[in-house]
Structure 1
Amino acid sequence: MALDDALMALKKRIAATALALLGCSLATQADEPYTDEPLKVGFVYVSPIGDAGWTYMHDQARQIVAEEFGDKIETSYVESVAEGSDSERVIRNLSARGHDLIFTTSFGYMNPTLKVARRFPNVKYEHATGYKTARNVGNYQARAYQGRYLAGMTAGAMSESGRIGYVAAFPIPEVIRGINAFTLGVQTTNPDARVSVVWINTWHDPAREREAADSLILQGADVLTMHSDSPAVIQAAEARNVYAVGFNSDMSHYGPNAHLTAVTMHWESIYHDKIQAVLDGNWESTAIWHGLKEGVVDLSPFNEVVPQEVVEKVTAYKMEIIEGTRQVFQGPLYNQAGEQVVAEGDALSDSDLLEQEWFVNGVDGKLNP
Structure 2
Amino acid sequence: MTRKFLQTTHLTRRGLLGSGVAATLLGAAGLSLRARAAEPLKVAAIYTVPVEQQWVSRIHVAAAAAMARGDITYSFSENTANTDYPRVMREYAESGIDLMIGEVFAVEQEAREVAADYPNVAFLMGSSFMHDPALPNFAVFDNYIQDASYLTGIIAGAMSKSGNIGMVGGFPIPEVNRLMHAFMAGAREMNPDIRFQVSFIGSWFDPPKAKETAFAMIDNGADMLYAERFGVSDAAKERGVLAIGNVIDTHDDYPETVVTSALWHFEPTLDAAIAKVRAGSFTADNYGIYSFMKHGGCSIVPLRNFEDDVPEAAKKLVAEREAAIKAGTFVVEINDSEPKSTA
- TM-score, normalised via structure 1 length: 0.77
How far, CA to CA, are the matches of 1:89 and 1:163 in structure 2? Answer: 46
The one of 314, 317, 321 equivalent to 1:310 is 314
- Structure 2 equivalent of residue 120 of structure 1: 118
Counterpart Cα distance in 1 of 2:302 and 2:77: 31
Give the deviation of 1:277 after TM superposition.
Answer: 1.2
Report deviation, 1:109.
Answer: 4.5
1:48 aligns with 2:26: no
Q: Distance in 2 between matches of 1:227 and 1:106?
A: 20
Structure 1 equivalent of residue 14 of structure 2: none
Q: Does 1:321 align with 2:325?
A: yes
Is the Cα–Cα contact under 8 Å of residues 226 and 243 in structure 2 kept in the other structure? Answer: yes
Contact map agreement 2:32 2:119 (CA 8 A) in 1: no
Provide the C-alpha distance between the structure 2 equivalents of 1:192 and 1:65, rounded to a whole number of angstroms: 45
| Conservation of the 8 A alpha-carbon contact between 1:156 and 1:193 | yes
Farther off after superposition, 153-162 or 167-176: 167-176
Match of 1:9 in 2: none
Uncovered stretches (5+) of structure 2, i.e. residues with no partner: 1-29
Q: Which amino acid aligns with 1:108?
A: A
Map 1:125-204 → 2, pairs under 5 A: 125-133=123-131, 134-204=135-205
The equivalent of 2:37 in structure 1 is 35
C-alpha distance in structure 1 between counterparts of 2:253 and 2:185, whole Å: 27
Amino acid at match of 1:254: D
In structure 2, the residue matched to 1:79 is 78
Deviation at 1:186, TM superposition (A): 0.8
Counterpart amino acid of residue 125 in structure 1: F
Q: SS of the residue aligned with 1:182? A: helix
Q: Amino acid of the residue matched to residue 100 of structure 1?
A: D
1:32 match: secondary structure: coil
1:237–1:244 Cα contact (<8 Å) kept: yes
Asked whether the equivalents of residues 109 and 127 of structure 1 are also in contact (C-alpha less than 8 Å), the reply is no
- Name the residue aligned to 2:208: 207
Secondary structure of the residue that 1:252 maps to in structure 2? coil
Task: List gaps (5 residues or longer) in structure 1.
Answer: 1-27, 330-349
Take 1:35 and 1:155, find their aligned partners in 2: how far apart are those partners? 49
* Cα distance in 1 between the residues matched to 2:48 and 2:194: 34
Distance 2:281 2:152 in 1: 38
Identity of aligned residues (%): 30
CA distance in 2, matches of 1:244, 1:221: 10
Which amino acid counterpart does residue 50 of structure 2 have in structure 1? Answer: P
2:277 counterpart of 1:278: yes
Deviations 1:305-350 (A, max 9, x none): 3234322211211111222222223xxxxxxxxxxxxxxxxxxxx7
Q: Specify the code of the residue in structure 1 equivalent to 2:213.
A: A
Query: Is residue 151–residue 263 contact of structure 1 (8 Å, CA) maintained in 2?
Result: yes
Q: Distance in 2 between matches of 1:180 and 1:36?
A: 43
Structure 1 residues 54 and 42, CA gap change in structure 2 (3 angstroms): same
Task: Check whether the contact 1:104–1:113 (CA below 8 A) recurs between aligned residues.
Answer: no
Deviation string, structure 1 residues 103-160 (Cα, Å, up to 9, x no partner): 1135334333212102212111001243232211011233222211111111110000
Q: Which moved more, 1:127-136 or 1:310-319?
A: 127-136
Amino acid in the other structure paired with 1:87: Y
The answer as to whether partners of 1:153 and 1:182 remain within 8 angstroms in 2 is: yes
Give 3-state SS (helix, strand or coil) of 1:57's partner.
helix
CA spacing shift, 1:106–1:166, aligned 2, 3 Å: farther
User: Does the CA-based 8 Å contact 2:89-2:114 persist in structure 1?
Assistant: yes
Q: Say which one has the larger Rg.
A: 1
Residue 76 of structure 1: SS of its match in structure 2? Answer: strand
TM-score by length of 2: 0.83
The residue correspondences of 1:14-29 to structure 2 (distance < 5 A) are: none
Could you tell me how far 1:33 is from its partner in structure 2?
Answer: 2.1
Task: Give, in angstroms, the shift of residue 201 of structure 1.
Answer: 0.7
Counterpart residue number, 1:14: none
Q: Is 1:364 the equivalent of 2:342?
A: yes
1:45 counterpart letter in structure 2: Y
**What is the number of equivalent residue pairs in this alignment?**
306
Q: Aligned with 1:107: secondary structure?
A: coil
Equivalent pair of 2:104/2:111 in contact (CA under 8 Å): no
